[in-house]
């Protein structure tokens, strides 16, 4: 069979209005396959039937849904990803309870195309058909079915079947291509086993493509598996793509591990979430206000999840009104911005509203926050607004085109074009310039810079006697929110603006002077005095520590401070001199060189009455600092 584009047509309507019978009459195939369905004479599960027509350029796939009120969640799962609706109303009964609820669900799910079939027309006369046609036309006024054909049909006599088929084929030609992020995603609506093959998960591919042999992930559980093989319209194929009904034969996964409501997708492409930000539209027919913290049944994709509804801009949402909300889920699910959903009340079970997802992985929000409400408005706005808002709310972690595209469920070329525009006007700051590039929004970058300076100031408020702050402390605090490349960029900028300065492994505030600390100053004077008075017979650092009987941490802090300021000089691990002693040694070395042209360790030892260890440490220090250089066993001026 040729690889044709699929047109997914979902039936809808009240129980016993002839949905399955109509599909069977159009295709010759009974969509009810379960023994219980045949015994009870009613649809219980979703039925999937293909309408083959060699003369038609596409392939129509029917998803036949149950009409009974007990199976509304199954109906919502089946209708979640259809291209068009075949809305069925029995001519002898007219508009009934589930007719209205199914119509509401189709509207909330954003279905754009459809046709109305007045079934069982063989049971009524022409006057009844004319009367019902007028009633239905009034019922669908202002909806996606406002201009839809209303077609009398009989599955028993065959009257009108050709017209229904022709109408569906005409609708199929008007179906717009689905937006495609390029990343494979398929909500699972059917799970079964096939003898000789194993576990199979089926659904409609919403984006991307899947190949035999691909590694994929089953969300939200995070089951990793491989596609052993795949079928489209019961025919084996090596690849299937967006918009097609597809069955995936999965390796090393049990049927018991799978369920309707899961999503098969590319590995690492989705993040399970316990919260969803959304725009909620409450039905006029809800007949009551929706309350903050109300418990609802959320139908999203093919999944049903219990949730608490947090209304972000008020205490209630009135019938016919709209509001930004956050769903707090009772178990994780997965979704992407733009995904449509339906909500039903916990009890009684009635459809009360629906809408679309704005953010699929939000944090907990502060209610009535203008900043939160403005951000959600942008997420629901243009592509530019949504991309920029994702950067704004990405905290301190630099983001690339790939990450933003995944979060928004949009194609990378679309996101890349917006990023280039935002970068050119200065709304984004490039953190990593090599591929893959990473960016921060300018407001996030400015906040991180302000917080870094505030952190340094706070450190000095706690440590008023310290002249500088250890860079390790600055880094540790900054990395709680961002990363090392961002720290370097911000620190370099602040140093360039003379807000901060960096000296070796320390950071200080320009223009700030440390307060005098009498206790520390006295201790510093004692330590410095010991080394000054010892001159060339300087004691070991450990000996000074023992003599003063100090806390080791406090002693090391004092000693390191004196060395950092240049008052003491550590020539070698066990040789520390006062700077005045170093200056005396410099004069001695200069005098020996002036008389002899060079100096040896032995000559300096005798001149200063030192041990060889100390003389060697002095000359090696002068070599390192550029006063002398070693030539064989002698040390000569580094610069003639």
**For the residues of 600-618, what is the DSSP string, one character each?**
-HHHHHHHHT--HHHHHHH
Interior CA angle at 578 toward 576 and 582, to 5°? Answer: 90
Q: Which residue has the tokens 């509304």?
A: 72
Cα–Cα distances (Å) from 78 to 45, 128, 165, 264, 462, in that order, read: 9, 31, 21, 16, 62
Give Cα separations from 296 to 188, 357, 561 (angstroms): 22, 16, 63
pLDDT at 287 > cutoff 90: no
The length of the chain, given as a count of residues: 640
CATH of domain 518-637: 1.10.10.10
Domain covering 444-509, topology:
Arc Repressor Mutant, subunit A (1.10.10)
CATH of domain 185-266: 2.40.30.10
621 phi and psi, to 5 degrees? -65, -45
Q: What is the pLDDT of residue 486?
A: 96
The residues that bridge with 86 in the sheet, in sequence order, are: 11, 115
Which of 79-88, 155-164, 515-524 is modeled with the greatest confidence? 155-164
Domains 185-266 and 273-372 belong to one CATH topology: yes
DSSP string, 380-408: TS-HHHHHHHHHHTSTTS-B-HHHHHHHH
- The CB density around residue 591, as the number of other CB atoms within 10 Å, is 12
Distance CA 209, CA 181 (A): 10
Residues 147-176 have pLDDT tens digits of 999 999 999 999 999 999 999 999 999 999
The pLDDT score that the predictor gives to residue 549 is 85
Report the 10 Å Cβ neighbour count for 587. Answer: 9
Which secondary-structure segment (H or E) carries 500?
Answer: strand 500-503
Residue 608, token pair as written in the block: 């200063």
Beta carbons within 10 angstroms of residue 500's beta carbon: 22
Asked if pLDDT for residue 44 goes beyond 60, the answer is no
Superfamily of domain 6-174: P-loop containing nucleotide triphosphate hydrolases (3.40.50.300)
Q: What is the pLDDT of residue 564?
A: 83
Q: How confident is the model at residue 107 (pLDDT cuts 50, 70, 90)?
A: very high
Residue 216: closest CA among 191, 181, 251, 169: 251
Which of the residue ranges 43-47, 49-53, 495-499 has the most confident prediction, judged by mean pLDDT? 495-499
pLDDT at position 455 is: 96
So what's the pLDDT on residue 515?
A: 76
What are the tens digits of pLDDT across the range 195-250?
777 899 999 999 999 999 999 999 999 999 999 999 998 789 999 999 999 999 99
| pLDDT single digits (tens) 363-387 | 888 887 888 889 989 999 999 999 9
Please tell us whether the domain made up of 273-372 is placed in CATH 3.40.50.300. Answer: no
User: H helices then E strands: how many in the chain?
Assistant: 19, 32
Residue closest to 344 by CA, chosen among 286, 393, 257, 261:
286
Q: 3-class DSSP state for residue 378?
A: helix
Q: Where are the domains of the chain?
A: 6-174, 185-266, 273-372, 444-509, 518-637
The pTM is what? 0.77
């Amino acid at each position: 069979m040729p690889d044709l584009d699929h047109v997914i047509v979902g039936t809808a309507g009240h129980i016993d209005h002839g949905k399955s019978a109509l599909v069977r009459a159009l295709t010759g195939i009974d969509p009810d396959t379960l023994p219980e369905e045949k015994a009870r004479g009613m649809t219980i599960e979703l039925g999937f039937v293909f309408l083959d027509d060699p003369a038609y350029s596409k392939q129509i796939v029917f998803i036949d849904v149950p009409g009974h009120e007990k199976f509304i969640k199954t109906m919502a799962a089946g209708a979640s990803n259809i291209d068009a609706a075949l809305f069925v109303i029995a001519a002898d009964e007219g508009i009934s309870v589930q007719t209205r609820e199914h119509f509401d669900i189709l509207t909330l799910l954003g279905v754009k195309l459809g046709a109305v079939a007045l079934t069982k027309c063989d049971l009524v006369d022409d006057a009844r058909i004319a009367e019902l046609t007028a009633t239905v036309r009034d019922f669908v006024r202002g909806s996606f079915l406002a201009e839809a054909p209303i077609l009398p049909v009989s599955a028993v006599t065959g009257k009108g079947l050709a017209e229904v088929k022709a109408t569906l084929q005409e609708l199929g030609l008007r179906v717009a291509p689905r937006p495609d992020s390029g990343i494979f995603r398929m909500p699972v609506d059917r799970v079964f086993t096939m003898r000789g093959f194993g576990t199979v998960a089926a659904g409609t591919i919403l984006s991307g493509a899947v190949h035999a042999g691909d590694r994929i992930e089953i969300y939200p559980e995070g089951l990793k598996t491989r596609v052993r093989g795949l079928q489209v319209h019961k025919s084996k194929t090596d690849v299937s793509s967006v918009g097609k009904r597809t069955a995936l034969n999965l390796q090393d996964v049990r049927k018991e591990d799978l369920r309707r409501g899961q999503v098969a997708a590319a590995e690492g492409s989705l993040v399970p979430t316990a919260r969803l930000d959304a725009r909620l539209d409450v039905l006029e027919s809800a007949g009551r206000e929706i309350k903050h913290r109300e418990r609802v049944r959320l139908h999203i994709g093919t999944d049903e999840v219990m949730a608490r509804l947090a209304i972000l801009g008020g205490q209630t949402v009135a019938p016919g009104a709209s509001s930004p909300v956050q769903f707090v889920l009772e178990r994780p699910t997965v979704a992407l911005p733009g995904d449509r959903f339906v909500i039903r009340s916990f009890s009684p079970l009635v459809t009360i509203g629906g809408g679309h997802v704005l953010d699929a992985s939000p944090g907990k929000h502060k209610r009535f926050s203008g900043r939160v409400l403005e951000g959600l408005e942008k997420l629901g706005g243009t592509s530019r607004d949504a991309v920029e808002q994702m950067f704004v709310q990405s905290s301190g972690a630099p983001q690339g085109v790939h990450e933003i595209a995944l979060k928004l469920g949009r194609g990378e070329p679309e996101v890349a074009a917006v990023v280039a525009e935002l970068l050119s006007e200065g709304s984004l700051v490039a953190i990593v310039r090599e591929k893959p590039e990473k960016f921060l929004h300018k407001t996030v970058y400015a906040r991180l810079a302000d917080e870094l300076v505030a952190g340094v100031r706070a450190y000095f408020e706690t440590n008023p006697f310290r002249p500088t702050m250890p860079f390790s402390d600055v880094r540790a605090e900054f990395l709680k929110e961002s990363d090392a490349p961002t720290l370097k960029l911000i620190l370099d900028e602040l140093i360039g603006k003379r807000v901060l300065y960096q000296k070796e492994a320390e950071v200080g505030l320009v223009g700030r002077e440390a307060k005098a600390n009498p206790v520390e100053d006295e201790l510093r004077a004692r330590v410095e005095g010991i080394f000054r008075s010892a001159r060339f017979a300087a004691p070991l650092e450990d000996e000074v520590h023992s003599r003063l009987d100090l806390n080791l941490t406090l002693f090391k802090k004092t000693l390191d401070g004196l060395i950092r300021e240049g008052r003491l000089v550590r020539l070698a691990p066990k040789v520390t001199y006062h700077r005045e002693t170093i200056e005396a040694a410099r004069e001695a070395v200069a005098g020996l060189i002036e008389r002899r042209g060079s100096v040896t360790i032995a000559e300096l030892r005798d001149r200063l009455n030192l041990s060889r260890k100390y003389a060697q440490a002095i000359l090696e220090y002068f070599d390192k600092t550029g006063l002398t250089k070693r030539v064989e066993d002698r040390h000569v001026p580094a610069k003639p």
